[in-house]
Amino acid sequence: MIRSFGWESVEFLIRGAGWTLLLSLMTFVIGGFFALIFALLRTLGPRPVRLAIAGFIQLVQATPLLIIVFLAFYGLSFVGLHFPPMVAAGVSLAVYTTAFLADIWRGCIEAIPKQQWEAADALALTRTQQLRYVILPQAFKISLGPTVGFMVQIVKNTSVVALIGFVELTRAGQLLNNMTFQPFHVFLTVAAIYFAICYPLSFLSERLKGNRHARPAH
């Protein structure tokens, strides 16, 4: 048992950070999968579908993450879906990830000039081919920077699952503080670990965006 802040505590926090990483990855994969579908349907789907997705995105973006995760996590159980806690936490976070990523990616698809569609059309490509070979590859390039940037948000925001009892980095910090009552040491270390994970991502994100700006503007 841990009594005061020492090497054992750091080990405990690093273990928590492992869960944070795993949870972030899972959230990104699940959220990314749905976000791609949503982004495509939001730009190209039939009108009712577009409106429904826009509504979903609006609502999720207007609710605090804490509340979304809470409602999604226990909502799953309320409707009779019983996942293992890890998966349930991932799915709850994915609700919010989907809403934001779908929106980012939609913006990227819409940023492709109309002439690109027209040119592809002139080449007699089918609608799917236009997307597959002309639009999405360009949109993908634009999306890299913002997407990696959003990963930083995912990593930081996994901290809210502490609310539902999942022991990741932030919750590990809280538990450690409950045992040691040395908040300065504990949370400074927690912050340092988050920074070590997030800063490289932020840096990469800026680089990816920078490269885009470095190209001629038109």
CB of 41 to other proteins, least distance (A): 6
| Count of H-run helices and E-run strands, the chain | 9, 0
In the list 25, 37, 52, 86, the residue contacting other proteins (rule: CB under 8 A) is 37
In the list 48, 184, 216, 218, the residue contacting other proteins (rule: CB under 8 A) is 184
In the list 29, 113, 119, 127, the residue contacting other proteins (rule: CB under 8 A) is 127
CA distances from 83 to 77, 79, 80, 214 (A): 8, 12, 10, 46
The residues in 199-218 that bind other proteins, with binding defined as CB under 8 A, are 199, 202, 205
**Is 97 within 8 Å of 28 (Cβ atoms)?**
yes
Longest alpha-carbon distance in the chain: 72
In the list 45, 52, 86, 141, the residue contacting other proteins (rule: CB under 8 A) is 45
Query: Which one of the spans 21-29, 83-91, 112-120, 133-141 is the region binding other proteins (CB under 8 A)?
Result: 83-91
3-class DSSP state of 103: helix
The reply to whether 79 sits near other proteins by the rule CB under 8 A is yes
**Is 68 within 8 Å of 157 (Cβ atoms)?**
no
Query: Which one of the spans 21-29, 102-110, 115-123, 133-141 is the region binding other proteins (CB under 8 A)?
Result: 102-110
